[in-house]
A = this chain, B = another copy of it.
Amino acid sequence: MKKRLLVDMDGVLGDIYQQAIQYEYQETGVLIKLEDVVGKDEIVAFPNAKRHVRTQGFFRTLPVMKDAPAAIETLQSYYELFIVSAAMEFPNSLWEKHDWLAEHFPFISWKNIILCGSKVPIQGDILIDDHYKNLDPFPNRSLLFTQPHNMANDNGHERVHSWKEIVTLLT
């Protein structure tokens, strides 16, 4: 039987930082650089992020993380792959995330998408995520996708830096 692989969306399949930088720049003219926000929570790094993530279109127009679609398509043949995204906090993101996946990852079945609040009840063999709050309680193999906010500490997880590296590691 295939192992079950759980894959986060924000900061893993979708590039939250590029979107937040773009939204801040368009609104304030201030260009925030990635090197200036290392180790900071996204909410602290981007002064208007709390409002921007609730703005219509924020999740629908998220840039796709480099090499993610080809990697997911490859990994689907090795694993029972589920997308697991915390979307409930921002209700407008529900259909935006659905439509975004349909556009950029059309080969993922609706059966394999989970939009949730807490990820604790979702069980799998491997979880790829960028947030400790999701990885720390996960009982099985946990891959920490490098993002500026998590660079200071691995918290005991396997750090991965790109989708190419993940495919090499997991296939």
Contact = CB atoms under 8 A, between A and B. Distances in A.
Given A95-B95, A110-B89, A122-B122, A116 B115 contact: yes
Contacts of A109: 117
* Chain copies in complex: 2
- Say whether chain A's binding surface is mostly helix, strand, loop, or mixed: mixed
Interface string A75-92: 000000010100111011
A124 interface: yes
Contact of A121 (B82, B91, B92, B95): B82
A127 to B, nearest CB: 11
29 contacts: A4-B121, A6-B121, A82-B121, A84-B121, A87-B115, A88-B98, A88-B110, A88-B111, A88-B113, A88-B115, A89-B110, A91-B95, A91-B99, A91-B110, A92-B95, A94-B94, A94-B95, A109-B117, A110-B117, A111-B117, A111-B118, A114-B115, A114-B116, A114-B117, A114-B121, A114-B122, A121-B123, A122-B122, A122-B123
